[in-house]
Amino acid sequence: MALIVQKYGGTSVGDTERMKNVARRCIAAQKAGHDVVVVVSAMSGETNRLLKLVAQITDRPSEREQDVVVATGEQVSIGLVAMAIHAQRGKATSFMGHQVRILTDSTHAKARIKSIDGERIHAALKKKQIVVVAGFQGVDEAGNITTLGRGGSDTTAVALAAALKADACEIYTDVDGVYTTDPNVVPAARKLERISYEEMLELASVGAKVLQIRSVEFAMKYKVPLWVKSSFTQDPGTLVCEEDKSMEEVLVSGIAYDKNEAKITVWGVPDTPGVAAKVFGALDDKNIVVDLIVQNASKDGRTDLSFTVGKSDFVKASELVKKVAKSIKAEGVAVDDQIAKVSIVGVGMRNHSGVAARMFQILSKEGINIQMISTSEIKVSCVVHAKYTELAVRALHTAFGLDAVSASEATVSEAKALKGEKV
Ligand code: ADP
Ligand code: ASP
Ligand code: MG
């Protein structure tokens, strides 16, 4: 007998028929002899609908009150799923985040889980209940409702699996696993049987929304075996697990894109010590996360500083940076929200050189201009104009040998290309 945490995303609980399907699956897992904890998201579109209501009231919502509103989507789902289980003669109890004390910090809209009290869950499991927990939400020390950022139900599920020492965590979604890239953008994308925690972490951090990044961090830290599966099929899905030798042979395992960032450039910045600290210190004080940063070479004692922030922080960040720019006597600020970040990820990059150069060649062949570049040991990201996103992802997917049909042929040509041979 095992303890399994299953998570069903918005599409999987998108209507009441689908909730009945979820109920069937939970009951089947219990009948197979397992203790079952189910985490559910809001019905698809519901969180967006709630955010629109907020926007109709104000464009500067109190973050505390916004969390009060958006957390309701998951409350509806847990009640309905628990009742769907009852209707199929199963036993189930629903819990909101605060009822099982999913304790978070107080950073509304992107709170981080600090601890979970498993007592009530274990007590309910002992009584053979299926435990239905609301994803995405928690409570801070002061008792305020918090939410974990978009896609946060994944993190609720993995954090619960870690806290309860579950044997597996299964993320049920609308695709049947993790693919080489978003299968909804590139039809030739290939499903991966396994992917390492590290690669999945990079892919999630550069925009593959199939798993929220914090969920992969938890899985990696607590070694939770994490499956991504479809709630509509019996496909075994993709296992996110520890890296092994065979994974290193693949140069690029996945490609991701992110259209949710915007670029801010402070130009004519006096090139003196402490200037960057002032700009980024001010953003950090407001909990605004900065991603890519590029500083140009200085000319006549002045330089340009460009960086990206999430689109949800864009207005706040732009206003703040305009103020700081005045105080440091910069010449001006330019903003651009028509950008996309396209990234290639693979542990094989550790042992192969020339992968970044190859990526730049592929983009240049398509006439795509690169605005910013960032690299890590297993990732290369390029910021390009948003209109080129799909073109860039498809071109890279084919050139790096990831297309489903011609995978092996392309891998050979890619190896040749890297060695400078004609293909
Ligand atoms: P859920 O509501 O179940 O949490 P999400 O929409 O958050 O589902 O995540 C699933 C979506 O992630 C897929 O429909 C797909 O478009 C997208 N996606 C992006 N990159 C990948 C990838 N590499 N593999 C699979 N799906 C991906
Ligand atoms: N309902 C939340 C969202 O739409 C959380 C989730 O679905 O994971 O972002
Ligand atoms: Mg999701």
Which residue, of 174, 190, 222, is where some domain finishes?
Answer: 174
> How many other C-beta atoms lie within 10 A of the C-beta of residue 17?
8
| Cross-strand partners of 305 | 266, 295
Banded model confidence at residue 404, pLDDT cuts 50, 70, 90? confident
Q: Which atom of ligand 2 is nearest to the CA of 154?
A: 8
Mutate to test the pocket of ligand 2, among 153, 160, 173 (most ligand atoms within 8 A of CB): 153
Residue range of the domain that includes 77: 3-174
Q: Which atom of ligand 2 is nearest to the CA of 153?
A: 8
pLDDT at 251: 85
Q: Is 199 within 8 Å of 247 (Cβ atoms)?
A: yes
Mutate to test the pocket of ligand 1, among 38, 171, 209 (most ligand atoms within 8 A of CB): 209
> Which ligand approaches the C-alpha of residue 135 most closely?
2
12 in a structural domain: yes
pLDDT, the chain, mean: 93
Residue 420 has pLDDT above 70, yes or no: no
Q: Is 229 within 8 Å of 179 (Cβ atoms)?
A: no
pLDDT at 414: 52
Segment 164-192 mean pLDDT: 96
Banded model confidence at residue 101, pLDDT cuts 50, 70, 90? very high
Residue 116 is encoded by which pair of tokens? Answer: 């979970």
Q: Ligand 2: distance of its center to the CA of 328 in Å?
A: 40
Segment 412-423 mean pLDDT: 49
pLDDT at 296: 86
> Which ligand approaches the C-alpha of residue 207 most closely?
1
The residues placing their C-beta within 5 Å of ligand 3, an ion, are: 9, 151
pLDDT at 353: 84
Q: How many domains does the chain have?
A: 2
| Same domain, residue pair 167 and 302 | no
Distance of CA 41 to the CA centre of its chain: 15
Which residue, of 159, 174, 189, is where some domain finishes?
Answer: 174
Q: Ligand 3: distance of its center to the CA of 363 in Å?
A: 29
* Surface-to-core class of residue 375, CB atoms within 10 Å of its CB (0-12 exposed, 13-18 middle, 19+ buried): middle
**Measured distance CA(63)–CA(150) in Å, rounded:** 14
DSSP for 267-329 reads EEEE--TTHHHHHHHHHHHTTPPEEEEEEPPPBTTEEEEEEEEEGGGHHHHHHHHHHHHHHTT
Residue 355 has pLDDT above 90, yes or no: yes
Q: What is the pLDDT of residues 251-273, one digit of tens each?
A: 899 999 999 999 999 999 998 89
420 in a structural domain: yes
CATH code for the domain in which residue 370 is found: 3.30.2130.10
Residue 175 is encoded by which pair of tokens? Answer: 């695709």
Residue 248 has pLDDT above 90, yes or no: no
Q: Which atom of ligand 2 is nearest to the CA of 156?
A: 8
Determine whether the shortest distance from the Cβ of 152 to ligand 2 is under 6 A.
Answer: yes
Which protein residue has the closest C-alpha to ligand 2 atom 4?
A: 47
**Measured distance CA(386)–CA(122) in Å, rounded:** 48
Backbone angles phi, psi at 408, to 5 degrees: -70, -40
Mutate to test the pocket of ligand 2, among 150, 209, 210, 260 (most ligand atoms within 8 A of CB): 150
Banded model confidence at residue 387, pLDDT cuts 50, 70, 90? very high
198 in a structural domain: no
Residue 173 has pLDDT above 70, yes or no: yes
Residue 310 has pLDDT above 60, yes or no: yes
Q: Ligand 2: distance of its center to the CA of 78 in Å?
A: 13
**Measured distance CA(402)–CA(34) in Å, rounded:** 37
* Surface-to-core class of residue 12, CB atoms within 10 Å of its CB (0-12 exposed, 13-18 middle, 19+ buried): buried
**Measured distance CA(284)–CA(280) in Å, rounded:** 6
Banded model confidence at residue 249, pLDDT cuts 50, 70, 90? confident
Residue 422 has pLDDT above 50, yes or no: no
CATH code for the domain in which residue 117 is found: 3.40.1160.10
94 in a structural domain: yes
Which residue, of 174, 195, 213, is where some domain finishes?
Answer: 174
**Measured distance CA(261)–CA(313) in Å, rounded:** 9
pLDDT at 423: 38
User: Between 416 and 238, where is the model more confident?
Assistant: 238
